[in-house]
Amino acid sequence: MNYQEIIDQQRHFFNTNATKDISFRIKELKRLKDILKKNEALLYDSIYKDFKKSEFETYVTELSIIYHEIDLALVKVKKWAKKKRASTGLANLPGKSYIIPEPYGTILVIGAWNYPYQLSLCPAIAAIAAGCTVVLKPSEVPSHTAETMAKLINQNFDPSFFKVVEGGVKETTEILNVEFDKIFFTGSVPVGKIIYQAAAKHLTPVTLELGGKSPAIITKDVNIDMTAKRLIWAKFLNAGQTCIAPDYVLVESSIKDKLLSAMKEQIEKSDYNVDNDNYTQIINEKNFDRLNDMIDPNKVYTGGNGNKEERVIPPTVMKDVEFSDKVMQDEIFGPILPVITFNTIEEAIEKVKNLSKPLSCYVFTKNSTVKKKVLNEISFGGGAINDAMMHFTEQTLPFGGVGNSGIGNYHGKYGFETFSHYKSVLQKSFWIEPNFKYSPYSTKKLNFLKRFIGL
């Protein structure tokens, strides 16, 4: 495939200014939603073939989020794209200042495999709302969903505006040699570094949605049953294959046993099973082996014993874990939850800060001092108090990482801003022009300007 030809076509189309028309953006967003709605059965079937994800979970964690992003953009895009007034200083009066949001141009979106529809299409929706053209490269790992997205989009959209390209590492490497106006990538830290290096050759701005070891800090004053319920749901949704899932638990030592017992009871109540349509497979054998190798049988509290043939690892909780253990060396990205104890909140915070900045952080506590201390002292992308992962569902909150967990953010208006350049403009009239900035310069002018600037 000639990727340069694709981007040349998109750049030519963008330069016609067609995408700057708000009515065009609205029409294309409505087209996308209509296509997805009409083909939901195909979308469900494809993702089930990839890792046995149920219709319920696919709608809740993928399609509903996509529909909400489209609906919000349809309502708000006129406001987001509107020219905004800014204040004007005395030095430029009479005059006025304003900011014009303009689309970056031609966009490359590289999606992730764990939520293949949502993490590919939501950035594309934001780019379309901002007035950009889009080349979407979905992950090749869930091959059926990638094929379905390519089919639905390429058969229904002009490729000079919205095009899906399929392929693996080779194809991604080739497309990164082409100059885009913005690149949006969701995936692992190592691949994110490769994307960043490729973008630097063209000085292309990037948004990187990566990951990391997101902690859940739990103090002794919590409602243990509710904490366990929320924590277990967040951790084992999609079999733990979620970038913002709690990666490990830091629990105050005095309630460790109670929390472990409550988590085990919640796992049993949930009856996680692929056949029950409330659990998913590990995406492939490579990841199954990687995860299985992290499990220390001597530290398993519940779970373990994965089935490689079915690519299923049951919800696994590990106790008495140390930061030196293998399970704590990298992001888990699977259904394994290590539990580590602490005695003081200062100790817990120090342990978290010794690792790279996480994408998310969760603190379960009734203590307002502890809450403030965690929020003030730990740097993380986003998070929640007394819950986990649900901050992702709030369209009013920007979603993104910091440090190794990512660069930039999106969701709602923040996605529009991610794909927009905010052009600043000062407008002056001709009817008067103070002479102070023009030569000849003098001490009198200088003294006046000093007094003027000091006001």
Do 40 and 212 contact (CB within 8 A), yes or no?
Answer: no
Q: Name residue, tokens 């973008």.
A: 199
Q: Which residues are catalytic?
A: 209, 243
Q: Phi/psi at 48 (nearest 5 deg)?
A: -65, -40
Burial of 271 (0-12, 13-18, 19+ CB in 10 A): exposed
Q: Name residue, tokens 């303009």.
A: 102
Among 241, 248, 242, 240, CA closest to 217: 248
End-to-end CA distance of the chain, in Å? Answer: 62
DSSP-based three-state secondary structure for 104: coil
Task: Give CA angle at 305 (302, 310), nearest 5°.
Answer: 125
Residue 185 CA to residue 416 CA, distance in Å, equals: 16
| C-alpha pair distances (Å), 86 with each of 36, 80, 95, 260, 417 | 40, 15, 11, 55, 17
Do 386 and 395 contact (CB within 8 A), yes or no?
Answer: no
Task: Give CA angle at 143 (404, 67), nearest 5°.
Answer: 70
Residue 197 CA to residue 191 CA, distance in Å, equals: 10
Do 299 and 273 contact (CB within 8 A), yes or no?
Answer: no
DSSP-based three-state secondary structure for 46: helix
Do 392 and 383 contact (CB within 8 A), yes or no?
Answer: no
Q: How far is C-alpha 370 from the geometric centre of its chain's CA atoms?
A: 27
Which DSSP helix (H) or strand (E) runs through 269?
helix 256-270
Burial of 216 (0-12, 13-18, 19+ CB in 10 A): buried
